[in-house]
Amino acid sequence: MSELYKKLDSEKGIHTDFKNNMTYGDYLNLDKILSSQKRLSDHHDEMLFIIIHQVSELWMKLILHELTAAIKAIDEDEMHSAFKMLARVSKTQTQIIQAWDVLSTLTPAEYLEFRDSLGQASGFQSYQYRLIEFALGYKSTHILKIYEKDPEVHEALELAFKAPSIYDVAIKALARAGFDINPELLDRNFSKVYAGDPTVAAAWREVYRNVDKYWSLYELAEKLVDIEDWLQQWRFRHMKTVERIIGFKVGTGGSSGVNYLKQVLDHRFFPELWDLRTEL
């Protein structure tokens, strides 16, 4: 161990005087981040509950950062840039999924000790999660009312609600590649949930049957499948963690809890990309 200390002492170039320079903590605003875990109860395990949700929100911020840029890149035919961003989204999703393993160390008895302190606050109200759903094409009007309390958040959600999703710009990319896409899809009301279309299904089938010819579109399709796959795994782990901790109780936000989470597992964001696996 003494040899290690000698090596460390030999690192003469390490900066130690930060009276007039920015530190690591300054750059990351650690004073604000690390002082934001304010328990509303005296229970030890509430700290776990707060940190898991805060960390997940930070990862969601990164997902939105990448998804928003990827939508723009696909719309501008910058496919390789989009692929890099979407690959990062998938990797980030794995981190959020693993967070459920940590939260599941919270037992029902422990959660009951501080659950009432949450009032009506619930992860159901996460506006960043709604923005992710909107970016992937799942638009639900009743959700918007939750955010009227915060005009800035509400405006951001309304804009995203009306904007084309990543699948909408993917369909436009199919049309630009020469596929006979239903023209009504290219300028549709993007606030409506996409329900599928035969011309889109036919285009994707052709892409998968001629991978070399349509390599970029093929890779885009697989990146989208990756993201939906990981999102559904996140939803499933969410549902099982909730069931493990509160069973079938109503959620703090008023949802039916596990029953609601089971329902959303049936939704598909990119239907043709899943259907063609049976049809090929």
- The CATH number that applies at residue 51 is 1.20.58.480
Mean pLDDT, the chain, rounded, equals 92
**Sign of the C-alpha dihedral computed for residues 196, 197, 199 and 205 taken in this order:** positive
Q: Is residue 263 part of a domain?
A: yes
- Give the integer Cα–Cα distance in Å for 2 and 164: 61
pLDDT at 150 exceeding the cut of 70 = yes
In this predicted structure, what is the pLDDT of residue 255? 76
Report, as an integer, the average pLDDT of 211-234.
97
Q: What is the pLDDT of residues 227-250, one digit of tens each?
A: 999 999 999 999 999 899 888 888
Number of separate domains in the chain:
1
- Give the integer Cα–Cα distance in Å for 112 and 115: 5
Q: Which residue has the higher pLDDT, 4 or 265?
A: 265
User: Cα dist. 100→11, 88, 90 in Å?
Assistant: 40, 20, 16
Per the annotation, binding residues for substrate are 49-53, 111, 115, 252
Q: Is residue 237 part of a domain?
A: yes
Q: Is residue 2 part of a domain?
A: no
Q: Output the pTM of the full model.
A: 0.91
- Give the integer Cα–Cα distance in Å for 34 and 51: 10
In this predicted structure, what is the pLDDT of residue 8? 58
Per the annotation, binding residues for heme are 238
Q: Are 208 and 218 in contact (CB under 8 A)?
A: yes
pLDDT at 215 exceeding the cut of 70 = yes
Q: Is residue 35 part of a domain?
A: no
Q: What is the pLDDT of residues 179-192, one digit of tens each?
A: 999 999 999 999 99
Question: Residue 244's closest CA among 263, 256, 257?
Answer: 257
Q: 84: helix, coil or strand?
A: helix
Q: Is residue 221 part of a domain?
A: yes
Residue 6's pLDDT band, with cuts at 50, 70 and 90, is low
| Residue labelled with tokens 């992937």 | 136
In this predicted structure, what is the pLDDT of residue 5? 61
pLDDT at 160 exceeding the cut of 90 = yes
Q: Which residue has the higher pLDDT, 119 or 1?
A: 119
Q: Are 272 and 204 in contact (CB under 8 A)?
A: yes
Percent of the chain with pLDDT over 90: 76
> What is the four-CA torsion angle of 205, 208, 212, 213, rounded to 10 degrees?
20
Q: Are 157 and 131 in contact (CB under 8 A)?
A: yes
Residue 9's pLDDT band, with cuts at 50, 70 and 90, is low
Percent of the chain with pLDDT over 70: 96
pLDDT at 121 exceeding the cut of 90 = no
Q: Are 216 and 79 in contact (CB under 8 A)?
A: yes
Q: Is residue 21 part of a domain?
A: no
DSSP tag of 126:
-
In this predicted structure, what is the pLDDT of residue 13? 72
Q: Which residue has the higher pLDDT, 93 or 121?
A: 93
Per the annotation, binding residues are 49-53, 111, 115, 238, 252
Q: What is the pLDDT of residues 46-61, one digit of tens each?
A: 999 999 999 999 999 9
Residue 263's pLDDT band, with cuts at 50, 70 and 90, is confident
Report, as an integer, the average pLDDT of 152-177.
96
Q: Is residue 81 part of a domain?
A: yes
Q: Which residue has the higher pLDDT, 267 or 15?
A: 267
Question: Residue 202's closest CA among 218, 183, 179, 184?
Answer: 179
Q: Which residue has the higher pLDDT, 146 or 65?
A: 65
Question: Residue 129's closest CA among 34, 254, 231?
Answer: 231
Report, as an integer, the average pLDDT of 89-98.
97
Q: Are 59 and 96 in contact (CB under 8 A)?
A: yes
Q: Is residue 242 part of a domain?
A: yes
Note down the domain range covering 176: 43-114+134-278
* Residues whose CB falls within 8 Å of the CB of residue 31, separated by 6 or more in sequence, listed in order: 25
In this predicted structure, what is the pLDDT of residue 228? 97
